[in-house]
Structure 1
Amino acid sequence: MAFWGKKKKETDPDAREDRKKVGLFRRLWQKVRNIDWKDPVTRWKVMFISLIGLIVIGGGSYGALAITNSPAFCSSCHEMAPEYSTFTASAHNNITCVQCHIKPGTINMLTHKVKSLKEVYYHVTGVPEQIVQTEDEVVSNENCMQCHSKNRLVTASGDLKVNHKGHIEEGIPCISCHAGVVHAKMAARGINTEEVRGEYTKETAEKIMEKKYLRPNMGTCIDCHDKVNNGEKPWKDVAYLVPPNPEEVEKKIDESKKEGVSEPVATETKTESAVEGTAGSGTAEDLAKVHEEKTQDLILQAIGKQQKDVKISMACETCHRKVKVPKSHKEEGWNQAHGGTAIQELDKCVNCHQDSKWIREIPKEDIISLLKMKSAENSSHKYTANLTVVKDQSRVNNFCSACHGKRPAGHIESDQWLTAHASKAKTADQKAECFVCHDREKPVEGSTTVKAPTDVYCQYCHRTGFKDDVKN
């Protein structure tokens, strides 16, 4: 007895003839047509087979989704080693990757699985030099709100005052500020490239998970607030939320070269936008100058020395609750007398007066050097008073150069100061104060020495040197 009916005998000549002439699919179709659908037993058989098929297909699909949704599956590809290891070292290691990277909903899940086929293609044909987040993969607020509440005003540290609800209702993505909470901004730092993927373990990740990359970057807040004050809404552009793709940046540089534009000088703040700006302005030096002027302008607003009618105040106390001016800063003559304190306590000074914190762009790093540096930091190391270090810091730090770049009030008129300043520079310590702003010798073009904030140097007049010829 066959499953759907009686089977013809092998001795029947018609059966042998049909087997020779009729193909497989035709025979199956004939069997389907010959099924007696009115027979209740037949209907039960169809239902039973359909149920088994659905269980097999559904179970297999669910199993495939469960496996591909697990962090372990992500770690199976070597190119994801940096991302997976930092994930395991982060505060989000108790949830799965897809809870952040795929919007809630079955349709979104299935759509993402189809799009992910390109990642399989890349894995087979050739992994990109660096894994970067694309504009269509930005973590949405929907994902964050599955666990976090928007009704927060003060951050967990108790210092920052951030109206999360106001930001969210304005349409600002959480990722605008919290971009490094899991992966410590590896792509922007350039430490997840092909040549270093083998270096990553959980222990390695713990060393590079620095707070300054996990927490919101003050430079991001300042950059966004400044743009809002200029009538912009930068978060509307998705490209503003993701680090630039190195391959696209190199492509733009190549295109600039072909168009006859000189290649921009490599700086800590060179990003895709900087490359575009260079193409328009012509030189990286002009960009650096504009950047310094803008930073100093913001610093003066922050410390209350420059008031502007803006939508969002740039003053420190607008966002910080624990900002306090040290008592020493309120003493009479502090502006002229703080140099000695800076020499002895520079490490404390730069905790607040560090303009690199005001930069949104992340400097490129080398993971090998970074790990060595971390090992050195773990050993006992304290700052020791160093005049050269303080001098260089005063020249490159925009907090310092905001004042040091201007002529001090005590210098009186130039024609009078020319003959009166000798008494102010008799000792080595007095000369050292002068060298904060002035170079002793004429700066050499292309020299790696930090440039003085003023182009007036001592040997311009003292061409035969000083009487005591004491160098500092």
Structure 2
Amino acid sequence: MLVAIGGAAFIHRSAQPSFCTSCHLMQPYYDSWASSSHNEVSCIECHYAPGIKAEAMGKLQAANQVVKYFTGTYGMKPWAEIEDAACLRSGCHIEDELVGELDFLGVLFNHNEHLGELRRGKQLRCTSCHSQIVQGDHLAVTKGTCFLCHFKERPEGEPLAGCTGCHRDPPRLVSDVGLVVDHPQYIQDLVSCESCHEQVISGLGEAEEPRCFNCHNELERIEQWTNSTRMHEIHISERNVECQQCHKPIDHRIQTLHVESELDCGSCHEGAHEVQQRMYAGVGGHGVEERPDPMFAAQVACKGCHELSRSIDAHATVTEAGEASCMSCHGVRYANILPAWQEGMARRVTTVGRLLRDVRSASGAAPVRSRVQVDSLVRLAADNIEFVERGKGAHNVQYADDLLRASVTILQEAIRIGRLPVTNANPDLGPRVTDSSCVACHLGVERSTTVYGGEEFSHGAHVLAGAMACSECHTSFDDHGGTKLAGISSCVDCHHSPIGPKNCAQCHQGPSGVPVETISHPTGDFSHNAHRTGDIQCSDCHIPPSMSTEALDCMSCHEQHHTPEVACLACHRDGALADHDAANHNVACIECHDPPADGINRWTRQVCASCHQTSLIDHYEPEACENCHQVPTMGEATRSLPPIPRDPDPPPP
């Protein structure tokens, strides 16, 4: 009997709110309840769902908590789950009260729209919004729950239900300085809310794995935290866990602007640096694979290089990148790298841009059926070139080089399809950046000239014409900047080696290294091609080590100088004509140059008679003309000169 009476007394006593304060951890919660609108409602009416079964289960849980308290095994964080049925029990909140709209801090709210159906795929409970999150306010509405649902993972300026979904009828206001803010008129005129109310959202509302450990320590449960659907079913629909227990908060309020406020430039200036970002990341081009810059792959942010401050418009500053930025991390050996990138990319853009202009100019000649395809290809190439130009190829020289070479390939395809009359469709872009780790840094070095061993050294002749790799002369990266050559004598291995048919082409332009242009000599014009056609090798005339032909005499090969079947001008071209007066250009060479002579080296009566035949008949023969007449120096172009006055008594014939 005593046990029954004592048990009944304990059950009654434990149902009183004051009993809850027996545990010192409950005092803050008790105080917030005592000062709330629910202070006339017993704790168990909310914490126990209606029904004998729920109340019996609650008593068992309470007894378990008492045992844990006295044994010291209780947790430091009280936990309770309030069922919706407890809120809707008889005498409390009836379902009819949930119908219709109510005003909550100026926002029209409808319970049925939130509890009657899934919201964003989640079943909300009463305690999803009415919880103990707000310290000191028992069961106060947690605005953070509203913000999490309406703003999380939503595009900027596009909250769930839109701005007017909550702020349905914003009032007409007058500001402190007398400015009229006519919200109804703005809505009617479709003025965007973001025009005035920007930066009204802070926080992302992300749920992070470490928060799981506040309640759980089982790894198999923790591993499921990425399953968003399952997590919300368990924690919201089944266990009534408040959203903020897992999610970081999102705040939504109008921000007051101050002088020092940083405005959101991106709200108007969208994509100001998007092209540079895509270039740095190595994405967005046509006809190329993605290729992020090594610095991007190393997680180097823009400010890692753009650290040099520069004033603009005398009132603001920007941060630039320069050589000092490179050297601050990589040392002095990275001097001149950035200027080389900038100059090299500018030169390549100009080169490919010239081909683009030629193709555009000729595209009108394409057949009608292929003109659309040609125009499409031209646009793709133009996009790549503009990408490199605006994105600044120095942000990613390897990717920029790929883009320009892809543009050349695309334009060549347009030339082929449209059969366009473009002559130079293979512009010289130099060595491919991705083929050489040296060129990736030292862009443009292939065209530079330096001094080695006291002699001028052209990289172009060796790298571009000779197709030599940097490693043939330079040391590896570990010994960066050195040469493997013993000195100027090492050059002899290439330059003074036995000459073969292909050696000349490594350095000299033209088919097989044979110059196309004619070379003028005092005795005539020399054609390399004519002699190579005659199966004469370069080494027959160009003999190491000097390779000079100054000591050569044409007559050493051309023994049969004057033969009837060979015209003089076949060899003696413009250079020979320039040595003669224009009046004699139509005179046959043999009139003055008798075979087998190879030239005229002195004046004779025979030479003069080739022109002055009539006047020389019986004219003091056989006296030499120069005995009486003034004659020019041999080899000079002349005109007729007056004779020197003769003696009155010339010598007898």
* Higher-RCO chain (CA-CA 8 Å, sequence separation at least 6): 1
Q: Which category of TM-score, normalised to the shorter sequence, fits these structures? A: 0.3 to 0.5
Larger Rg: 2
Normalising by structure 2, what TM-score? Answer: 0.29
Q: Which has the higher helix share?
A: 1
What TM-score, normalized to structure 1? 0.38
